[in-house]
Amino acid sequence: MRLPPAIIGSTEEVLREVLRFTAPADSTLSRYFRDHPRLGARERGVVAEAVYGLLRNKATYTSFAESGAGSMMRRMALLGLADAVSVDALGGLSEPEQHWLQRVMEIDRSNLSQLQRTNMPEWIFERLVAQYGESGALELADALNAPAPLDLRVNSIKATREDVVSALTHAGLAPLPTPYAPLGLRLLKKPALQNMPLFKEGAIEVQDEGSQLLAQIVGAKRGEMVVDFCAGAGGKTLALGALMRNTGRLYAFDISEKRLAKLKPRLARSNLSNVHPVVIAHENDAKVKRLAGKIDRVLVDAPCSGLGTLRRNPDVKWRQTLEGIGELNVKQISILTGAARLVKPGGRLVYATCSLLDEENDAIVSQFLAAHADFVLIPMHEVLAEQKIELVMGDYLKLVPQLHQTDGFFAAVLERKK
């Protein structure tokens, strides 16, 4: 079945906005769909897929779009759409466009230059080569440029993994248990989750397996005092609250009231009553200082480049800059230092990012430990053994999509000496 010709115009229009990189692609798309309610669910799905495909393959498609006729933006939109649904499914193509698209889609991409194949800014690829070697960086780039599956976390306060598997299977989906996270399920199809009873009742949440593992390694126990220091919309907060079996006290700190507001409906669905969202002005806020030395476990999921999430957010690689990384490094060490004050003797501090870059990860931990003799690093292999997670790691948690089928994540566990 052919798509209506208007879909090309819609894709071109929203793409022009997305490629300005003034806001995240998902929020630009959401706003566009709100402003254009006549687009049906199928059309919205195709436009979104075309835009994300183009962001993943931007270097390749920019090169391809240098040939052909018509505006550059139309040619880019056509390439994204052809990748999403095939050339034959597109209505409203002129004969020259049809021929051009078919010819371009047959190009052997293995003959392209390395940078065009990796579809990354040069500075990012250079850093990956320095860390992983050339072949490792190419494998990683390929994995980051592939769309991610949909990972779910079962809310153990409301359901068992077996119950949810049964319900999803009954709904015609084929959930697979995640290999490492004990409450994770993976879907290769992406259903309209928000319409499903399981989701509405709070039995499941969308959460990448890597993010679930970060919550797991915090090791939060019943009755403890725990802080999620950069809680955002609260994915890890909810996982921590369930691990604590809805006991103790779990603070969700964030500087953004808007982000924390997104946690409220999720909290209501989850049945958790041990979570206390708190808006703070900065890491040295009086609300933070009042809890100094009283907290059993603190998770710092620090603001970072987000380069580990490119499977889901491919625009990040084009929006991030080298200068931006330097600014983030200053923030990261400052937030980690502020959060460390909360930890009581014998308590644990977990520093985590969804970045792949050493300067946001190992380097920040080394800098912190050099300045804080009262903290020691607990090797990650020990923490994973405590949590019965069968993953081979050294001192740190380092997850990458080509090996672990998760987003890219880093974590270090630090303990304050008694």
Tell me the pLDDT band of 416, cut-offs 50, 70 and 90. Answer: very high
Segment among 84-93, 380-389, 400-409 with least mean pLDDT: 84-93
Pick from 395, 407, 359: which is nearest to 126 by CA?
359
Q: How many residues are given for the chain? A: 418
For residue 49, is pLDDT > 80?
yes
- CATH domain 209-416 topology: Rossmann fold (3.40.50)
Task: State the pLDDT confidence band at 144, using cuts at 50, 70 and 90.
Answer: very high
pTM: 0.95
- Of 360, 246, 365, 233, nearest to 304 by C-alpha is 360
Give exposure, 249-285, as e/b (b: 16+ Cβ within 10 Å): bbbbbbeeeebbeebeebbebbebebbebebbeebee
The mean pLDDT of the chain is 95
Per cent of the chain over pLDDT 90 is 91
Q: Which tokens go with 398?
A: 């380092």
What is the structure's pLDDT at 187? Answer: 95
Q: What's the pLDDT tens digit per position in 85-129? A: 999 999 999 999 999 999 999 999 888 888 889 999 999 999 999
Tell me the H-state helices in 24-121: 25-35, 41-56, 58-64, 72-85, 95-105, 114-118
Spatial distance between the Cα atoms of 320 and 316, rounded to a whole number of angstroms: 6
Query: What is the rounded average pLDDT of the residues 158-167?
Result: 96
Task: Say if 150-206 and 209-416 have the same CATH topology.
Answer: no
Helices (H) and strands (E) in the chain, counts: 19, 12
Per-domain residue ranges for the chain?
A: 6-113, 150-206, 209-416
> From CA 240, how far away is CA 246, in angstroms rounded?
9
Percent of the chain whose pLDDT exceeds 70: 100
> Residue 194: what pLDDT?
87
The predicted pLDDT at position 370 comes to 98
Report which of 362, 358, 254 is spatially closest to residue 299, judged by C-alpha positions.
254
The 3-state secondary structure of the chain reads CCECCHHHHHHHHHHHHHCCCCCCHHHHHHHHHHHCCCCCHHHHHHHHHHHHHHHHCHHHHHHHCCCCCCCHHHHHHHHHHHHHHCHHHECCCCHHHHHHHHHHHCCCHHHCCHHHHHCCCHHHHHHHHHHHHHHHHHHHHHHHCCCCCEEEEECCCCCCHHHHHHHHHHCCCCCEECCCCCCEEEECCCCCHHHCHHHHCCCEEECCHHHHHHHHHHCCCCCCEEEECCCCCCHHHHHHHHHCCCCCEEEEEECCHHHHHHHHHHHHHHCCCCEEEEECCCCCCHHHHCCCCCEEEEEEECCCCCHHHCCCCCCHHHHCCHHHHHHHHHHHHHHHHHHHCCEEEEEEEEEEECCCCHHHCHHHHHHHHHHCCCEEEECHHHHHHHCCCCCCCCCCEEECHHHHCCCCEEEEEEEECC
Q: Tell me the pLDDT tens digit for each residue of 346-383.
A: 999 999 999 999 999 999 999 999 999 999 999 999 99
- Return phi, psi of residue 205, to 5°: -135, 150
pLDDT tens figures, 264-296? 999 999 999 999 999 999 999 999 999 999 999
Residue 334 near residue 384, CB atoms below 8 Å: no
* pLDDT tens digits along 60-89: 999 999 998 889 999 999 999 998 999 999
Q: Tens digit of pLDDT for each residue in 10-48?
A: 999 999 999 999 999 999 999 999 999 999 989 999 999
Please tell me which residue, 112 or 243, carries the higher pLDDT value: 243
**pLDDT of 1 higher than 80:** no
What topology is assigned to 150-206 in CATH? Alpha-Beta Plaits (3.30.70)
